[in-house]
Chain A
Amino acid sequence: MSTIEQQATGTFAADPVHSHVGFEVPYAVATFSGEVPEFTASLVDGHLEGSAKIQSLRLKDENLQAHVLSPEFFDAERHPVLTFSGDLARDGDKATIDGEITIKGITHPATLTGTIVGPTLDHFGATRIGLTLETVVDRTAFDIKWNMPLPSGEPALGNEVTLKADLTLVAQEA
């Protein structure tokens, strides 16, 4: 049995210091992850809008970073922003957001799933909502097709990329 609990009405904006946006993708024998530290997100009466500046991506090697920002991957010069927008549906602490994601100028439907906490008061008296969300996209659908074969013949880089957002959203004064 599902119940609709607290509604996330009103306007909330991401607290970037206590939020995280990034991705994970299978690479060779493990998982490669990256963070996009410059982003914005807002939740207005249950509608989530988010955008991330891919140019702010920080990887641990400058040459790898340049490759991932190049036209062969994100093409940050021509498509500097990734966006998502969708409507939040809540079932207890479970959150589902059906919407659209745009990467490299290409838009596809996407459903983010995860958990929601709040609205609740924090230790400074502000009202916060926590959203932990992820979705899996096929990067090739967004024209990100680079790969190299491993000696086994298998591709080095997976096509299924998990996009992750841990958001702390703070109520904005009217």
Chain B
Amino acid sequence: MRVLAISGSLRRDSNNTALLRALREEAPAGVEVEVWDGLKGIPPYDVDDDLVPGPPKVEAFRTLVREADAIFFATPEYNSSIPGALKNALDWASRPIAANAFRNKPVAVIGSSAGAFGGVWAAAELRKVLAAMGARVTEVELVVGHAHDKLDEVGELADDDIRDELREALDLLLAEAEPAVAVA
């Protein structure tokens, strides 16, 4: 089982990216979590550039999504919503709409922020966008407030309760990603 982990933050010392590194450490045997580092390279979405094939970095992103069994997002919240870079990457990935790489793909969304609410509105917005794209949105609802206080001096997650919650979130996602029972 292969899980692509996508952080909505570009910041080098991002809390969200740290959560995804911790997720990678907590993954059970047989589950590979790849933390994607290509978000900053995705160009701004432009219909004029939306050709077949698309820009190389966009096509590489679409391929990563298609080849993953599930996608795990961790997003900060900017102005009560999704960071523009993340939304931009999803807008690229959502094309063509009817056959986009996220269609039927199991996804989980968590959020974290320096504030008390942990990016709960951004996470909700992200779930809405992913559902509209046709993804299989799981009921994971983990948000981590005051996230910078949960990291150690080298920027790694140092909170066992949150590690437990990350494992539970990953378990939920993996259960959703189990191959569907064929119905005749």
Instruction: Give residues in A with beta carbon < 8 Å to B.
Output: 62-63, 65-67, 70-72, 75, 77-81, 146
Closest 7 CB pairs of A and B: A70-B134, A66-B98, A63-B97, A71-B136, A62-B98, A78-B180, A77-B104
Q: Do residues B131 and A71 form an inter-chain contact, with CB atoms below 8 A?
A: yes
Known contacts A62-B98, A70-B104; is A81 also within 8 Å of B183 by CB?
yes
Count residues of chain B with CB under 8 A from any CB of chain A: 15
**Which listed residue (A65, A67, A72, A77) contacts B180, Cβ 8 A?**
A77
Query: Among A70, A77, A78, A81, which residue has the most Cβ atoms of chain B within 10 A?
Result: A70
Give the residue of B97, B137, B184 whose beta carbon is less than 8 angstroms from that of A66: B97
Knowing A77-B180, A79-B183, A80-B183, the reply to whether A72 touches B99 (Cβ < 8 A) is: no
Chain B residues with a Cβ under 8 A of chain A: 97-99, 103-104, 131-132, 134-137, 180-181, 183-184
Question: A77 to B103, alpha carbons, bound, how many Å?
Answer: 10
Task: Report the bound CA distance from A71 to B135 in whole Å.
Answer: 7
Question: Which B residues touch A75, using CB under 8 A?
Answer: 136
Question: Counting chain A CB atoms within 10 Å of each CB, which of B134, B136, B137 scores highest?
Answer: B134
Chain B residues with Cβ below 8 Å from A79 are 183
The contact sample of 9 A-B pairs, CB cut-off 8 A, is A63-B97, A66-B103, A66-B134, A70-B104, A70-B134, A71-B104, A71-B134, A72-B134, A81-B184
CB distance from A76 to the nearest CB of B (A): 9
Q: How far is the CA of A71 from the CA of B181 in the complex (A)?
A: 15
Q: Which residue of B lies closest to A76 (CB)?
A: B104
Compute how far the CA of A58 lies from the CA of B151 in the bound complex, rounded to whole angstroms.
51
B10 to chain A, nearest CB (A): 29
Docked CA distance A71–B130 (Å): 11
A62-B98, A72-B134 given; 13 more Cβ-contact pairs under 8 Å: A66-B103, A66-B134, A67-B132, A70-B134, A71-B104, A71-B131, A71-B134, A72-B131, A75-B136, A77-B180, A79-B183, A80-B183, A81-B184
